[in-house]
Amino acid sequence: MSLYRTELRRLTKRRFTRWMTLAGVLVLLAVLAGVFLTNHKIGPAERARAERQAEQQYQEQVRWAEQEKAACVQAQAAGTPNKEGRFPPDCEMISPPPRDAFQAQWFLPSTFDFRKTFDETLVPFTAILALVGFVVGASFVGAEWSTGGMMNLLLWRPKRLTVLLTKLAALLTGLLTLALTSAVVWTVGFWLVGTFRGTTAKTTSGAWQSFALTGLRGLLLVLTAATIGFALASLGRHTAMALGGAIALAVVGQFGVGILLSMANVTFVEAWLLPTYALAWMQKKVTLENWDSCNNVSYSGECKPETLDITWQHSSTLLIGGLVVLLGAALWAMRRRDIS
């Protein structure tokens, strides 16, 4: 019997894998449903309503300005002192804002533009699947160690590295299938959202190519997260090793470091936090701003903060380095340590 097919079957038959996958799918469907319900298709009726609301706001401001101007003139005629500074010295200065200051588009309901917005939806999609992959990957190998299944398997197949890498291959294959299937449903779902609750206009071949590249980066991030969870659980020989390490990294390595760096007035604190690099990997670049610097101040007094760009190249270096170190350590431990 093929070891790979056996491990793939073991992965799909595990109840934890099924429940975790179901939970991830339900969260994705909830996000999709939420976007559908909170957006609206804009037609002539919605635009007319927005125009009426803009005109109503403008007329309210006109009436308020006329009332204030009349009160100002009355106060000056009566010689009432202006103690609170309510009125200017010249009542003619009180005038309503121009009509074009009230734009109808401000009063339009939220609408989903597929071409402009779908790329952004791939970030939460990737984050949810990465979490599922990390937990399932850690549980898949961690349960084998904690229940003694790994020892029994090595009696049948004594080649340690082959067994561990085959398990990893089965995990990545199953996760790849889940990710691709979910991506198709996610894309079709948001296309329907754009069709019935927004617009799909101007979605060119170039836009689809951009979506595909973002999706590919997301897929690689999901597989990397699963591999890291697998490696951590294999190192600790227990699922809790991976989950505990992830919690420690989130609480101590992220919040703790962020607080300490902020207290030390370190510039660009976000550059030391992992979510920044994950976001940069998905969006290709994240620009951090330091508003405390204002190095370049124009003659008009405009503050231009100091900036720092985190690119996908920086993120790839961090991801590859972490993946090589953790997976290499897991393979080394598998080869060197006693199986007991």
Predicted confidence (pLDDT) per residue in 15-50, tens digit: 989 999 999 999 999 999 999 999 988 878 878 888
Distance between CA atoms of residues 101 and 94, nearest Å: 16
Predicted confidence (pLDDT) per residue in 121-171, tens digit: 999 999 999 999 999 998 888 877 777 667 766 667 777 888 889 999 999
Burial label for 220, CB within 10 Å (0-12, 13-18, 19+), is middle
**With a threshold of 0.95, does the pTM exceed it?**
no
Q: Would strands 198-199 and 112-113 be described as parallel, antiparallel, or unpaired?
A: parallel
Least Cα distance to 313 among 285, 339, 273 occurs for: 285
pLDDT of 208 higher than 50: yes
Contact 134, 229 (CB under 8 A): yes
pLDDT of 91 higher than 60: yes
Structure token pair of residue 229: 């969870």
pLDDT of 338 higher than 80: no
Question: 17 vs 10, 13, 175, 265, CA distance in Å?
Answer: 10, 8, 10, 44
Q: How confident is the model at residue 298 (pLDDT cuts 50, 70, 90)?
A: very low
Q: How many residues does the chain have?
A: 340
DSSP 102: S
Q: What is the CA radius of gyration of the chain?
A: 29
Residues in Cβ contact with 46 at an 8 Å cutoff, skipping those fewer than 6 apart = 40, 108, 109
Contact 142, 240 (CB under 8 A): yes
Distance between CA atoms of residues 177 and 219, nearest Å: 11
Torsion of CA 51, 55, 57, 63, to 10 degrees: -170
Distance between CA atoms of residues 279 and 285, nearest Å: 8
